[in-house]
Amino acid sequence: MKNLLRYLSPFAPDQSGAVSVLFPQGGLIVICDAGGCAGNICGFDEPRWFTGRCALFSAALRDMDAILGRDDKLIAKLASAMEDVGTDFSALIGTPVPAVIGTDFRALKRAAERRTGKPCLVIPATGTKFYDVGAQEAYLELVRTFSLERLSIEEGTIGVLGAIPPDLSLIHPGEAVRAALDPGRERRILCFESPDDFRNASAAEKNLVVSPCGVAAAELLKERFGTPWEIAVPWLPESLKQRLAALHGGRILVIHQQFAACRVRELLPDCEVTTGTFFRTCPEWMKPGDMAFSGEGDFADAVESGGFDAVIGDPVLKRAVPHFRGEWIPFIHFAVSGVLEQKEEES
């Protein structure tokens, strides 16, 4: 029963993470579902759907299409949509239905590329994992597809992987990261928000990874081009930084994606800080006592029995710990609550 949710809503799933990475890339995105998963992604997990443009479609699978494996109908619809929209590549994203019936995504990829003559990315998401898994697979597919040419390294050029709305809780995370890294706009910052960014990946002096979902792609770019990478979180909400500046001493629990939580710990040298996350972790960044929660109950037990003076995390998580009497400092995580930073809501 560790996965039972009594107080919290389900976190963003893997297909939503894949869409988050692919949304700004300019391709045709097809969610392989009957319609519900695509509706959830656009309605709840992808904030840019209401402000930007993206060729995102549901495959609108019917029962007999799935049972009989009528992949030819899917490929025909994909090719027709690409012709109408005029995109340079397509992407097929899995959901629970193709996972259950054993859809061969590699075969779909080959069929789509033969029919359209253009690249087709496939992310066999299952809907049973969290957003960071899908985001990682989408980054890897984009690197495999577009990061092929070794270019001369351009001095001052930096790549940034993992800057997506579910983690930064911003509609325009790339803009925030660019402003934090290069206020004077003197350097070239590749936030990997277009195929051209991936094509030019080898020109970067180094890559910065702002969340664990970007680590695998950074490793692949290092293997392919020798590009070094490091973990960095250049942007945090101003309201949070102001609250952190007032904290001195005490036991603190920080809950977010691992790299953001560790960055907060760096800003609290006078406190005894423990980090916790529901999502992927890199063991080398974990310190003794850091936690990877297996579910709501595990999280509640850790908070209510941990003796913490303050918890820094998304306010929605307070529902699960009604007996916690310490201070709660808001640190919004869109993948958890579906809430954006106030700055973005007002823009």
Choosing from 129, 162, 191, the residue where a domain stops is 129
* Residue 231: inside a domain: no
Measure the CA–CA gap between 108 and 30, rounded to whole angstroms: 12
Please give the angle made by the CA atoms of 267, 268 and 272, to the nearest 5 degrees: 145
Q: What pLDDT does residue 39 have?
A: 93
- pTM over 0.85? The answer is yes
Contact 285, 258 (CB under 8 A): yes
**Residue 152 resides in a domain:** no
Residue 121 placed within a domain? yes
* H/E run at residue 161: strand 158-161
Establish if 100 belongs to a structural domain.
yes
Residue 203: DSSP 8-state: G
Confidence at residue 105, expressed as pLDDT on a 0 to 100 scale = 95
Would residue 139 count as lying in a domain? no
What pLDDT sits at residue 160? 99
| CB-count burial class (<10 Å; 0-12, 13-18, 19+) for 43 | exposed
Q: Supply the CATH number for residue 83's domain.
A: 3.40.50.1980
Residue at 272 is within a domain: yes
pLDDT of residue 134: 99
The domain tally of the chain equals 2
Query: Is the Cβ–Cβ distance between 87 and 28 less than 8 Å?
Result: yes
What does each of the 347 residues of the chain score in pLDDT, given as a tens digit?
667 788 999 999 999 999 999 999 999 999 999 889 999 999 999 999 998 889 999 998 887 777 777 888 999 999 999 999 999 999 999 999 899 888 999 999 999 999 999 999 999 999 999 999 999 999 999 999 999 999 999 999 999 999 999 999 999 999 999 999 999 888 999 999 999 999 999 999 999 999 999 999 999 999 999 999 999 999 999 999 999 999 999 999 999 999 999 999 999 999 999 999 999 999 989 999 999 999 999 999 999 999 999 999 999 999 999 999 999 999 999 999 999 996 544 43
Q: What domain range is 70 assigned to?
A: 14-129
The residue from 72, 106, 129 where one domain ends is 129
Domain contains 48 = yes
Q: What is the pLDDT of residue 301?
A: 95
> What is residue 125's predicted lDDT score, i.e. its pLDDT?
98
Q: How many CA atoms lie within 13 A of 322 on its CB side?
A: 4
pLDDT value at residue 345: 42
Residue at which a domain ends, from 102, 129, 156: 129
Distance in angstroms (rounded) separating the CA atoms of residues 217 and 223: 10
Q: Is residue 224 part of a domain?
A: no
